[in-house]
Amino acid sequence: MPSALQLVGNTPLVELRTIRDGVAPGVRLLGKLEGFNPGGSVKDRPALRMIEDGLASGRLTPGKTILDSTSGNTGIALAMVGAALGYPVELVMPSNVSAERKQVIAAYGAKVVFSDPLEGSDGAIRLCRKILADNPEKYFKPDQYNNPANPLAHYETTGPEIWRQTEGAVTHFVAAIGTSGTIMGTGRYLKEQNPAVQVIAAEPDDAFHGLEGLKHMATSIVPGIYHEEELDQKIGIATDEAYTMVYRLGREEGLLLGQSSGAVLVAALQVARELDEGTIVLLFPDFGDRYLSTNLWRGWPQREA
């Protein structure tokens, strides 16, 4: 029987059969359901890989604490992996993150340090830097934005899984970008197998957006692991379009997913409508029950009325 960590990866593909919106019958839309990872998101893969890398390189040793400033899926994944390996985890986040987030992280035994909510995620980053600077020997900081082990996790697992699951038939890969680890590592692997595979990024179309986990690159601190020249296309998605697609996925496909999955599907349908045939793989980062108290669902019944 596998341990929790051995269940990371090998997520299933699901075929979208209803939401096709004028796409030719010869085009398949296959969603990779990363919510099936034990920590509930795609971030289990890089969290595990970065911690394994820390152990192998000697930067993470017994007695040290894993430290980072993230309240999102990476925080949950680090808390899960830390618990499974017996390493303490400390996560810095603004005190106004949702109650579920705080509870999930606490349930894995991680310590939560609160930063000023008025300073947002930048405040958490600054406080995290200070904690590290005050006590550098105590901590291991994975730094997902600049750590090559993040895209490597996808190069070694997500890419080969998609190649195998489609028996080499994949023609397009569509993913949303946050740190860009998913699209960089998976895209690189798939292009090595077949240089004709098109790698397409979905990103928020505006700096002020409601797509948690995603980055509008033109107005963000660009991650060190991001290489835009390796993408074939980047498609900007409006928050409302992504939310509407999330509601449709629940009702029309029986798939309750997070908002970044909605953004990925909007982008993939744009690409698909231009094709006569193809196999498009969409990366769905997590399930939707993680967001029930957020703006995505708050006010939803009124929206539908």
Ligand X SMILES: Cc1ncc(COP(=O)(O)O)c(C=O)c1O
Cα dihedral 224→228→230→235 (10° resolution): 130
Write down the least CB distance from residue 22 to ligand X, Å.
Answer: 26
Exactly one of 72, 82, 204, 278 binds ligand X (CB under 6 A); that residue is: 72
Q: Is 180 in the site for ligand X (CB under 6 A)?
A: yes
Q: Is 262 in the site for ligand X (CB under 6 A)?
A: no
Q: Is 75 in the site for ligand X (CB under 6 A)?
A: no
Measured CA to CA in angstroms, residue 73 lies from 37, 169, 202 at distances of: 11, 30, 18
Cβ closer to ligand X: 27 or 258? 258
The one segment of 21-29, 92-100, 180-188, 241-249 that binds ligand X by CB under 6 A: 180-188
Exactly one of 286, 287, 288, 296 binds ligand X (CB under 6 A); that residue is: 286
For 73, list phi and psi in degrees, rounded to 5. -60, -30
Q: Is 179 in the site for ligand X (CB under 6 A)?
A: yes
Write down the least CB distance from residue 156 to ligand X, Å.
Answer: 14
Write down the least CB distance from residue 42 to ligand X, Å.
Answer: 6
Rounded distance between C-alpha atoms, residue 150 and residue 199, angstroms: 18
Cβ closer to ligand X: 73 or 147? 73
Exactly one of 39, 278, 285, 288 binds ligand X (CB under 6 A); that residue is: 285
Rounded distance between C-alpha atoms, residue 161 and residue 154, angstroms: 9
The one segment of 4-12, 19-27, 118-126, 176-184 that binds ligand X by CB under 6 A: 176-184
The one segment of 14-22, 120-128, 172-180, 227-235 that binds ligand X by CB under 6 A: 172-180
Task: Confirm if 64 and 140 have CB atoms less than 8 A apart.
Answer: yes
| Active-site residue identified among 32, 43, 141, 215 | 43
Amino acid at 1: M
* Residue numbers 25-44 binding ligand X by CB under 6 A: 43
130 noted as active-site residue: no
Amino acid at 207: A
Measured CA to CA in angstroms, residue 193 lies from 162, 164, 171, 304 at distances of: 11, 11, 11, 44
Cβ closer to ligand X: 278 or 288? 288
41 noted as active-site residue: no
List the beta bridge partners of residue 113.
Answer: 92
Q: Is 153 in the site for ligand X (CB under 6 A)?
A: no
Cβ closer to ligand X: 38 or 285? 285
Write down the least CB distance from residue 137 to ligand X, Å.
Answer: 29
Cβ closer to ligand X: 94 or 181? 181
Q: Is 71 in the site for ligand X (CB under 6 A)?
A: no
Q: Is 186 in the site for ligand X (CB under 6 A)?
A: no
Q: Is 260 in the site for ligand X (CB under 6 A)?
A: yes
Just list the catalytic residues.
43, 260
Binding interface with ligand X (CB under 6 A):
43, 72-73, 176-182, 213-214, 258, 260, 285-286
